Chain A
């Protein structure tokens, strides 16, 4: 964190690639600038299946949201929500429960501005500017306070975001702080980029892809699977545990044509006792 006072505005610099706009480009969107596409093309050179990874993230998130709705959870906190393109949490949620509340959180002012435009007039979804690295800024945000009742279960979505926290940001401490604020019965959804020690060349490709993120404002940190599992401390992992994204409760059995890069993204869902 910088030592900028919390009420001083962050600067906007669209000459630096943004993680959320790069992600949008993977997903075929045009909510991006040349600088983002340039970065995305670099990643795609090393990991051509990056769009599929993004798609798999989206798909897993949809399944996890449906799982939470199935448990009766009607409050959703999506941190690192990025550019809302399609198949967003609130669309999935409101298709099944129009009364459920969704709070998106992002630290990218452009993503937030775009989300505001998309969510304008939506009474059950909102966006808050806050930084996951300061979890209290998320929990104490007026929008969070307004929309979510933390005394009741909340589905906390940390989809493709924790790998943008460096170890110095203490991601485990961050998750623990959020966990402590959640009521029993809350659901934690995590997807995370992991190392693939069994496949050196793939791991090298992924590292090369991750290296591109060093040029963005948020470098990407791949972690070992056990470390990803450790994020669920204080939660009961639901079946089938922490697994490659397409393997987490698929609607139809995943075929054998899945790109190996997609399988480096691991996903898990935990229930707070």
Chain B
């Protein structure tokens, strides 16, 4: 150390400067000694600046007139505040004071050197006290603050944990899924409200074991082994869908997910089972499945389910297949005359009877179309078993259906397919059954026929014909035949009814029964009907031109209900009359009774306008439907065509007296209303005589002549004239 004591410098102004200088030097020495043992993050210079006021405190205490060392305690405090917290610092702190304080800050007042030393010592004691006290305070304070921090952190963590637990508890308790927790033995420890609600009783749930929750009756998935795997820790999760009995005995369907809960070390501890109530969902699915596979009207399996079962039955080529294709006879007439509501009720009644015909699970009856039903018989033991099924169906339909006190006869025609599956596809089988059913219909209906490959090959399918109709019309495959219409009074040929035929390139000549319904259902009847009208009208004109004198021969043309509602009908009739220059009175349009039943005034308007032109309107098939006689008063008709069924009993002698009375009544009524009466289906001379006697006006039938080419009529007319 080379510094000189400050006390040697004198002079009033210079004293302060010199004293400050001395103080800085003391602080510098002090800093150099303490700095290495402090933990302060101050730089050396900063630390030295920090010591300066402390040094001043010491000097001022040393110089005080009345010495009081207690102020030096603040110096100890100041050092602790500057992070001289290591007890190792204390010797350095005190050592520098001891060695340099008196030297650099020696008393200005004349104080004995001994007194100076004593004061310096006592100041050191005070610094030490202040240091110790500050250190103790600081330590206690820091211990307290860190403890408080630990406590705060802990309580914060606990609060968060409690909140987290509360959240989980809320999730557990209010979850919509049922939750159950069980130990590894399967003992149920805790369940939530949802689970209790699902099972209907808490005790009922608790007394079960998890294994029971997931055991299935079937072997599929084997939950017992799944559960063993879970509790062993081999798997952490599995899921089963299962039915349970509720406390009240009803069935609960649940999707159960079982998970393994492990502890912090990863060892299995608990099982967690989540239950989702899928009872409603399954019920809905079943309902949807039922709706998708069943006919809404009759409740019978529908086309989709039928084909599903047929596919299954056809899966094994080595097995046999049996199919009965049923089409109701005359159902269309019921629908047309009594309305669809009655038709539907009839179908429901038929379906109920068919249901009773199914004898075993390998048989299924489905409704696959309007009045078409199919029974599929998977792997029947014999053909006899299949024909027995068909016979059972026919028997079931033999009694009439009673609807609103009305007896409706129901009959059906059945096409049977039986044989080894082989390479047959569902479409083949159905087509073959359909064709065969038509054969049964052709043979009069109310019977079954068994498919035979040769017959199939020749068969006319409705489907095929329907598709061929448009091109047949374009290619001129249709032609018209004429059946003479005879005046009963004198046997003269008055005209003819035009009847359309189809000269089919494969099937030969087809009658209207075979294709008119198809043409009606596809709308092809409109162009076809127009063509027939043109042909017939032209023919009538030709006859007229040939005949020169007398009234023109009348031509009767059938009008389908579809044509009747076609907006162009009136215009077409007018156009045809103009083109052919045919007198309107020479044309008679025949409309079936059923087409007019229930028709309102709007629907009748076209017919009325045609009648106004002078064209005659005949009510065809009169008496086959459920005629409302009173309607005859206001319908725009001028002719009644009596169905052949009324006159069947007159073919022989003596005639059926009741039939005679009925026809007499009708004729009388018709004449009263200014209608003429034509009788269809006259086959014998006796019949013709009866009818003439009863006052009928005109007749047609085999007795007079079958339908034939136009020139045949010409011949007849000539014969009649002769």
> Could you tell me which A residues sit within 8 Å of B by CB distance?
7-12, 14, 21, 26-33, 51, 54-55, 58-59, 62, 83, 86-87, 109-114, 116-117, 251-252
Q: Indicate if the CB atoms of B85 and A12 lie closer than 8 Å.
A: no
Evaluate contact between A116 and B85: CB separation under 8 angstroms: no
- Which residue from A32, A109, A116 sits with its C-beta under 8 Å from B146? A32
Closest-by-CB residue of A relative to B143 is A30
Q: Which residue of A lies closest to B159 (CB)?
A: A9
> Which residue of A has the minimal Cβ distance to B139?
A30
A28 and B83 within 8 A (CB): yes
Check A252 against B45 for contact (C-beta < 8 Å). Answer: yes
B156 contacts across to A, CB distance below 8 A: 9, 109, 113
B42 touches A110 (CB 8 A): no
Q: In the complex, A172 Cα to B150 Cα: how many Å? A: 32
**Interface contact A30-B138, CB-CB below 8 Å:** yes
What does the 1/0 interface line of B79-97 toward A look like (CB < 8 Å)? 0000101100000000000
Q: Is B575 an interface residue (CB 8 A)?
A: no
Return chain B residues, CB-CB under 8 Å to A251: 43-45
Out of B39, B43, B44, name the residue touching A28 (CB < 8 Å).
B39
Whether A11 pairs with B145 at a CB distance below 8 angstroms is: no
Residues 149-164 (chain B) with a chain A CB within 8 angstroms: 149-150, 152-154, 156-161, 164
Asked whether A113 lies within 8 Å of B164 as measured between CB atoms, the reply is: no
Cα of A29 to Cα of B139 in the assembled complex, Å? 8
Tell me the minimal C-beta distance from B262 to chain A in angstroms. 12
Closest Cβ of chain A to B535, distance in Å, is 89
State whether A87 and B153 are in contact (beta carbons under 8 Å apart), knowing that A8-B160, A9-B161, A30-B139 are contacts in the complex: no
The total of interchain contacts (Cβ-Cβ below 8 angstroms) comes to: 90
Residues of B within 8 A of A252 (CB): 43-45
Could you pull out 16 A-B pairs where Cβ atoms are within 8 angstroms?
A: A9-B156, A9-B157, A11-B157, A12-B150, A26-B39, A28-B39, A28-B83, A28-B85, A28-B86, A87-B40, A110-B153, A113-B149, A113-B152, A117-B148, A117-B149, A117-B152
A50–B456 Cα distance when bound, in Å, is 107
CA distance A251 to B157 in the complex (A): 43
Q: Is B41 an interface residue (CB 8 A)?
A: yes
Q: Is B142 an interface residue (CB 8 A)?
A: yes
Residue of B43, B143, B150 near A110 (CB, 8 A) is: B150
- Bound-state Cα–Cα, A39 to B395, Å: 102
B42 and A113 form a contact (CB under 8 A): no
* Nearest CB of chain B from residue A34's CB, rounded to whole Å: 11
Cβ B160 vs Cβ A33 within 8 A = no
What 0/1 pattern do residues 23 to 43 of B give for CB contact below 8 A with A?
000000000000000111111
Q: Which of these, A51, A55, A113, contacts B153 with CB under 8 Å?
A: A113
Q: B148: nearest residue on chain A (CB-CB)? A: A117
Complex: chain B residue closest to A8, CB-CB: B164
- Nearest CB in chain B to that of A30: its residue: B142
Residues of A within 8 A of B152 (CB): 113, 116-117
Listed from nearest, the 3 A-B pairs whose CB atoms lie closest are: A87-B41, A9-B160, A114-B149
Taking a contact as CB atoms under 8 Å apart, the answer to whether B146 and A114 are in contact is yes
Residue from A26, A28, A114, A252 whose CB has the most chain B CB atoms within 10 Å: A28
Q: Which residues of B contact A51 (CB under 8 A)?
A: 39
A87–B39 Cα gap in the complex (Å)? Answer: 10
* Pair B157/A59 contact, Cβ less than 8 Å: no
Q: How far is the CA of A12 from the CA of B160 in the complex (A)?
A: 12
Check B164 against A86 for contact (C-beta < 8 Å): no
Given contacts A8-B164, A30-B138, A109-B153, contact A62 B41 (CB under 8 A): yes
From B42, B83, B146, give the contact of A83 (CB < 8 A).
B146
Residue of B with least CB distance to A251? B43
Contact partner, A10, options B45, B146, B157, Cβ 8 Å: B157
B residues near A86, Cβ cutoff 8 Å: 40-41, 83
Task: Quote the shortest CB–CB distance from B28 to chain A (angstroms).
Answer: 13
Chain A contacts of B146 at CB under 8 A? 21, 30-33, 83, 110, 114
Chain A positions within 8 Å of B153 at CB level:
12, 109-110, 112-113
Question: How many Å from the CB of B125 to the closest CB on chain A?
Answer: 23
User: In the complex the two chains form, what is the Cα distance from A113 to B143 in whole Å?
Assistant: 14
Q: For the complex, give the distance between the alpha carbons of A33 and B146 in Å.
A: 8
Per the bound structure, the CA–CA distance linking A113 and B151 in Å amounts to 9
A29 touches B41 (CB 8 A): no
How far apart are A138's CB and chain B's nearest CB, in angstroms?
Answer: 19
Nearest residue (CB) in A for B84 is A28
Interface string of B118-151 (1 = CB under 8 A from A): 0000000000000000000011001101101110
In the bound assembly, the distance between CA atoms of A9 and B152 in angstroms comes to: 13
Instruction: Point out the residues of chain B lying under 8 angstroms from A109, CB to CB.
Output: 153-154, 156-157
Report the separation of the CA atoms of residues A14 and B160 in the bound assembly, to the nearest whole angstrom. 18
**For A31, what are the chain B residues with a Cβ–Cβ distance below 8 Å?**
142-143, 145-146, 149
Chain A residue with the shortest CB-CB distance to B138? A30
* CB-contact partner of B39 in A9, A27, A62, A113, under 8 A: A27
CA distance A110 to B156 in the complex (A): 10
Given A8-B160, A28-B86, A87-B42, output 12 extra A-B contacts at Cβ < 8 Å: A9-B164, A31-B142, A31-B143, A31-B146, A32-B146, A86-B40, A110-B149, A110-B150, A114-B149, A116-B149, A117-B152, A252-B45
A114 and B86 contact, CB distance less than 8 A: no
Interface centre among B44, B146, B148, B152 (most CB of A within 10 A): B146
Separation of A31 and B148 alpha carbons in the complex (Å) = 10
Query: Which residues of B (54-103) have their CB < 8 Å from a CB of A?
Result: 83, 85-86
**A117 to B153, alpha carbons, bound, how many Å?**
11
Q: How far is it, in angstroms, between the C-alpha of A19 and the C-alpha of B583 when the chains are bound?
A: 121
Is B41 in contact with A59, judged by CB distance below 8 angstroms? yes
Instruction: Please indicate the chain A residues that have their CB under 8 angstroms from the CB of B157 in the complex.
Output: 9-12, 109
Provide the residues of chain B in CB contact with A29, threshold 8 Å: 39, 85, 142
By beta carbon, the residue of chain A nearest B140 is A30
Please name the residue on chain B nearest to A58 by beta carbon: B41
- A59→B47 CA distance, assembly (Å): 13
B contact residues around A55 at 8 Å (CB): 39-41
Chain A residues with CB under 8 A of B83: 27-28, 86
Determine the distance from Cα of A251 to Cα of B45 in the docked complex, in whole angstroms. Answer: 9
Which residues of chain A are near B154, meaning CB under 8 Å?
12, 109
Which residues of the other chain, B, contact A9 by a CB distance below 8 angstroms? 156-161, 164
Q: Which residue of B lies closest to A83 (CB)?
A: B146
Q: Bound state CA distance, A52 and B45, in angstroms?
A: 18
Tell me the complex Cα distance, A83–B40, Å: 15
Residues in B whose Cβ lies below 8 Å from that of A83: 146
A32: chain B residues within 8 A (beta carbon): 146
User: What's the Cα separation between A51 and B40 when bound, in Å?
Assistant: 11
Contacts of A12 in B (CB 8 A): 150, 153-154, 157
Q: How far is the CA of A9 from the CA of B145 in the complex (A)?
A: 22
